[in-house]
Structure 1
Amino acid sequence: MDLKEVMAVNLRRLRHDKQMTQEELADQSGLSARYIGAIERADVSASVTVLGQIAEALGIEPGELLKESARSR
């Protein structure tokens, strides 16, 4: 799995864990819901700045979005 896909899977899982919609995450991160959706589909690569904005909105460390889980290897 490439890093873009790892981030997509982690973002979707973490957002669901926080019981947030894409719209809520977008609002709290200052991004558009359409862009959040594109990241979750692995259609786009997020910049380091965007990674930080999303992590802050989720209340996590940015590295959590990039960790490949054992079951996805």
Structure 2
Amino acid sequence: MEEKQILNWALAPVVREAREAADLTQVELADFAGLSKPYISGLERGNINASVFALARIAKVVKVRPNKLMERVEEEIKKGPKKPEPLTGRPKRKKQVK
């Protein structure tokens, strides 16, 4: 398996988990980070090589230090990353309590 593919597959769940922990949709994360929705989607599917610039912007939006994201990626690599399973349909948003 190619190194880029391993890194992409390890990064995918890290980005998704960070986004979900921040209670953001892909569109919201993309907008707040100044990135495109297809780029975020591609990252979460393990199909896109992330730039350091993009990771820093994502980390800022989800309020996580960039090195913490990379530590999580390293953990995923040690576990032996697998191709992310495609999610079908639009994810349901959590209802906000007023």
TM-score (norm 2): 0.66
Poorly superposed stretches of 4+, deviation over 3 Å: none
Gaps of at least 5 residues in structure 1 are none
Matched residue type, 2:56: G
Q: What are the superposed Cα offsets for residues 13-66 of structure 1, whole Å, 9 maximum, x if unpaired? A: 111111100010001100011110001001011111111111111111112222
CA-based RMSD of the aligned residues comes to 1.8
The structure with the greater share of residues assigned to helix is: 1
Q: How many residues align?
A: 72
For 2:68 and 2:20, how far apart are their aligned partners in 1? 14
1:1-73 paired onto structure 2 within 5 Å: 2-66=6-70, 67=72, 68-69=74-75, 73=79
Gaps of at least 5 residues in structure 2 are 80-98
TM-score (norm 1): 0.85
Matched residue type, 1:23: V
Q: Is the 8 A contact 1:6 1:65 kept in 2?
A: no
For 2:66 and 2:38, how far apart are their aligned partners in 1? 21
Q: How far apart are residue 69 of structure 1 and its match?
A: 3.6
For 1:55 and 1:47, how far apart are their aligned partners in 2? 12
